[in-house]
C-alpha cells in the first residue's frame, strides 16, 4: 500500500491507469525441476504412477510468486523501465523532461505519466506477453476507493467502513483490567484486525488501534469498549480520507507525536 501512496503523492496533474493481468502466477517459468502428481481427470490409464514435470508455475506452488516477479521484471526492463532502489515493486522510465511511474501488486499494475502515448506503448508491449484487461482510470484497489479529479486525488474507505457495524473519545486511555471479556476472543481479534486495515487510509486511528491490540491474547472489558468507540468514530466520519491536491511544489511535511508516562500500568512513554 505504501507504493500506491507513493504513486499518488507524486501526482502533478497526471492520471493513474489500472491494468489487471489474468492468472498472473501461471506466467512464471519454472527454473528448477518440479514434479507433481497427475491431476484428476488427466490420469493416464495404466500409468497412474507417472508424474508431470512443470514448465510453468502453478497457484499454491511456493515458488510461484518469485517466478512471476522474475518474469514481469524481465519484461518491464525490456520495455526500458528501471527498478527503484527503495522499492522492488516500483519502476520508472524517463521520457524527455517527464517520466513514467509503474507499480505492480501481484496481478494489478498501475501506470502514470504526462505522456499517454507512452502508457499505451507499455500496455501494448505487455499485452503481447500476457492476457491483460485495461480497467481505465484507477478507481478501486484493496477495498480502497480512488476518486481522481482535476483538483487532485482522494482515497477513502466509505464502502469498507460500512461493514464495521459495531472508536471515539479522542482522549481515551486503555488500561489493563481484571475483568475478562470472554473466553471466546475470536470476535474481538477480528474487530481489531479490521481496525488495523482501516488505518491504511485513516492514520488518525493508528495509535488507538495499536492500543487495542495489546491484549489480543486476553481481551478485557475496557479494551472491548475502546474498540467499539473507535468503530463509532469511524462511522461518524466515514467520509474522511487521504487528499492529494494537484500542486507544483516539491515539499514534504512530517508529523510525530509523543506523550510522557501515559501508560497507566507501568508509566512508560509512548510515541505515536
> Taking the chain (272 residues) in consecutive chunks of 10 residues, what is each chunk's mean pLDDT?
60 79 87 85 84 86 88 88 85 77 84 81 86 86 81 77 48 47 70 84 82 79 80 81 74 66 66 55
Exposed, middle or buried: residue 266 (CB in 10 Å: 0-12, 13-18, 19+)? exposed
Domain spans, the chain: 2-27+63-142, 160-240
CATH superfamily of 2-27+63-142: Reverse transcriptase/Diguanylate cyclase domain (3.30.70.270)
pLDDT score at 196 = 85
Number of C-beta neighbours around residue 114 at 10 A: 16
Contact 131, 27 (CB under 8 A): no
pLDDT score at 16 = 85
Contact 111, 100 (CB under 8 A): yes
pLDDT score at 173 = 45
Cα–Cα dist 207/148, whole Å: 29
Amino acid at each position: 500500500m505504501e507504493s500506491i501512496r507513493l504513486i499518488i503523492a507524486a501526482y502533478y496533474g497526471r492520471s493513474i491507469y489500472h491494468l489487471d493481468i489474468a492468472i498472473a502466477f501461471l506466467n512464471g517459468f519454472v527454473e528448477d525441476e518440479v514434479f507433481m502428481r497427475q491431476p484428476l481427470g488427466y490420469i493416464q490409464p495404466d500409468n497412474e504412477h507417472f508424474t508431470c514435470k512443470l514448465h510453468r508455475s502453478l497457484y499454491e506452488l511456493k515458488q510461484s510468486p518469485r517466478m512471476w516477479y522474475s518474469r514481469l521484471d524481465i519484461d518491464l526492463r525490456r520495455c526500458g523501465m528501471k527498478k527503484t532502489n527503495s522499492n522492488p515493486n516500483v519502476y520508472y522510465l524517463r521520457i524527455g523532461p517527464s517520466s513514467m511511474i509503474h507499480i505492480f501488486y501481484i496481478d494489478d499494475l498501475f501506470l502514470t505519466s504526462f505522456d499517454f502515448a507512452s502508457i499505451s506503448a507499455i500496455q501494448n508491449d505487455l499485452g503481447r506477453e500476457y492476457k491483460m484487461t485495461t480497467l481505465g482510470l484507477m478507481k478501486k484497489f484493496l477495498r480502497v476507493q480512488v476518486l481522481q479529479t482535476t483538483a487532485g486525488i482522494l482515497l477513502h474507505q466509505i464502502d469498507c467502513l460500512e461493514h464495521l457495524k459495531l472508536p471515539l473519545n479522542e482522549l481515551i486511555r486503555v488500561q489493563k483490567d481484571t475483568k475478562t471479556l470472554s473466553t471466546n476472543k475470536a470476535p474481538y481479534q477480528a474487530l481489531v484486525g479490521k481496525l488495523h486495515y482501516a488505518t491504511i487510509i485513516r492514520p488518525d486511528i493508528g495509535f488507538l488501534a495499536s492500543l487495542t491490540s495489546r491484549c489480543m491474547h486476553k481481551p478485557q472489558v475496557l479494551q472491548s469498549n475502546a474498540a467499539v468507540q473507535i468503530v463509532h468514530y469511524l462511522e461518524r466520519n466515514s467520509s474522511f480520507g487521504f487528499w492529494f491536491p494537484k500542486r507544483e511544489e516539491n515539499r514534504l511535511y512530517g508529523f510525530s507525536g509523543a506523550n510522557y508516562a501515559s501508560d497507566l500500568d507501568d508509566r512508560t512513554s509512548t510515541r505515536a
